[in-house]
Amino acid sequence: MFEKKLENRNIPYIPSDKILRNWDKTRQEALHLLCEYEYGFLPPPPQHAAYTLLEEDLRFCAGKTVYQKYNICLTLENGSFSFTVYFVFPKNAKSSPAIVHINFRDAVPDKYMPTEEICDHGFAVVSFCYKDITSDSPDFSDGLAGLIFENGKRSSPDAPGKIALWAWAAIRVMDFLQTLPNVDHKNIAVAGHSRLGKTALLTAACDTRFSFAYSNNSGCCGDALFRGKAAGGETLRDICANDRYFYWFCENLYQYIDNESALPFDQNFLISCIAPRNAYIASAKEDIWADPASQFLCGIAASKTYQALGLKGLVCPSESLPQPGQYFHDGKIGYHIREGLHYFSRQDWLYLMSYLKKHKNE
């Protein structure tokens, strides 16, 4: 049934023979396509990085955890840029798996981040507010964007949009985590909701040090297929036209508005670029805009890449589209769907942590 649905949508795939011949090279080629025509190419790494502890609370969450606030200061070609990260970890753990949460706010805890419960499950969580990197607006003269683009003007049609800049910052957080001995470096996930779920997927596609990527309700240009979108599902016109969120992406993407079938890829390429590592897609029944069916089928389509590598992709025991309360955690691509609306809920975190524990790298 799923194969027929994908066939009807005319979904493109990364050729299996190229995957088998040289996956590293093929993955880079697929990622290049995604950057050239959708997200833009990320800026180069900084020339230098410095990390300064600003605050520490040894009694956080009833004394079970340690809270730390850091400043990350980066030297780039055109000047320096800094932003704040918040790191909370279980106090008595020698080394904890960590989740990098690209968040909408800088609150710890936050309505999208139950910090105490995350640490109770044995995870450290490091978060930052995406607007501390650059504004969620067409203004390319502020924050990181202001250092990269002269006079706030993007230099080429494949120059990075805001999602690529936020992903670049998440990669800098990974650089920071590499300096911490109390983090299990084999088990670091990146997570985000909505536009930041798109960001999390791009982050992990670009940086293989992330063992897991978690996308919560990211939908169009994230974890949902473009082709064959269900009625009510967000399209490229919805997301890019009428001065909405066009600035999230590179300018090359605009030519495909109302012509998504001409794209040289679909979003299964983005999930595929995370292989052989783990990717996780999360849906909500009433989040029609994200199009749960297209999210699920994106995972099924990306499974072809994992299968070509001899791995299990999204393992679904039935031939029916999933219903709320169902979760599939057996493969390298995880999936769940819950009741409710567009939101990063406690239930989503519990599903995610269960999956991370099941697939922990030893």
Q: Provide the edge-to-edge strand list for the sheet that holds 79-90.
A: 48-60, 65-76, 79-90, 124-129, 96-103, 183-193, 212-216, 278-284, 333-338, 327-328
Residue 336's nearest CA partner among 252, 268, 280 is 280
Catalytic residue among 96, 127, 194, 272: 194
Q: Is 194 a catalytic residue?
A: yes
Name the DSSP class of 344.
Answer: -
CB 175 within 8 A of CB 74: no
Catalytic residue among 121, 185, 329, 342: 342
Q: CA-based angle 254:258:263, to the nearest 5?
A: 65
Residue 355's nearest CA partner among 183, 221, 225, 216 is 216
Is omega for the bond preceding 276 within 30 degrees of 0, making it cis? yes
In Å, how far from its chain's centre is CA 229? 21
Q: Is 342 a catalytic residue?
A: yes
Helix (H) / strand (E) containing 238: helix 236-240
Residues serving a catalytic function are: 194, 342
